[in-house]
Amino acid sequence: MSETEVRASIAAERTELAEVFAGLDAAAWEAPTLCAGWRPREVLAHMTMAYRLSLPRFALEMVRARGNFNRMADRRARADAAALTPEELVASLRDHAGHPWKPPGSGYEATLAHEVIHGMDITVALDLPRRVPVDRVAVVLADTKPEQVRYFGTDLTGVELRAEDLEWGLAGDDPRSVVTGAAQDLLLVLCGRRLPPGRLAGEQAGRYEAR
């Protein structure tokens, strides 16, 4: 995809997710997600954090977190989820569909990954029927680097991941078993998420499922 096409995909992903999230009931907003310790409201607060945080405020928050981005992001997600209603969080995502935010030092492919993965943290955990358009997943998979997989602690030893709906695969060291599934679910595996049972197939599928 060209940069223009990736940015259009980002805007579409945000708009479509906002529509999905607008339909969640009160119980869903309190349910767990694939992000440990976060409900949908914390995930969405994190997804929209960049729209509320100026650069100076971001720097201050990082100082308060002693330079630990994960600590800062968790603190802000919890604070914003407590301060804002679900309707306000959904509106923030919808109203900023075309926002030019990018993760520091990254391209728009990383922005698309951010929206796609965190969106699935909610939709997959809630067993919602939404499927991410496979062309968007393909962009994210193509931009996923080995160091990112290591960062999430994903163990691919002895396993080859193979997508059922996309010509994509990735093998770990000494692959002896194939794990198959939708490309979007394999993307979640790469990001260290534990999936609900039944979304993957293969002898080693249980390695990547929630218990």
Closest CA to 43 of 100, 140, 124: 124
Q: What is the mean pLDDT of residues 9-35?
A: 98
Tokens 């914390």, residue located: 42
Task: Find how far residue 136's CA is from the centre of its chain.
Answer: 12
pLDDT tens by residue, 72-83: 999 999 999 999
Cα 13 from Cα 31, distance rounded (Å): 22
**What are residue 195's DSSP bridge partners?**
209
3-state class of 164 per DSSP?
Answer: coil
The tokens describing 151, both together, are 């960062």
Contact 143, 189 (CB under 8 A): no
Q: What is the mean pLDDT of residues 67-71?
A: 86
Query: Is a pLDDT exceeding 90 seen at residue 1?
Result: no
Phi, psi (rounded to 5 degrees) for 137 = -60, -40
Q: What global pTM score does this model have?
A: 0.94
pLDDT tens by residue, 94-111: 999 999 999 888 999 999
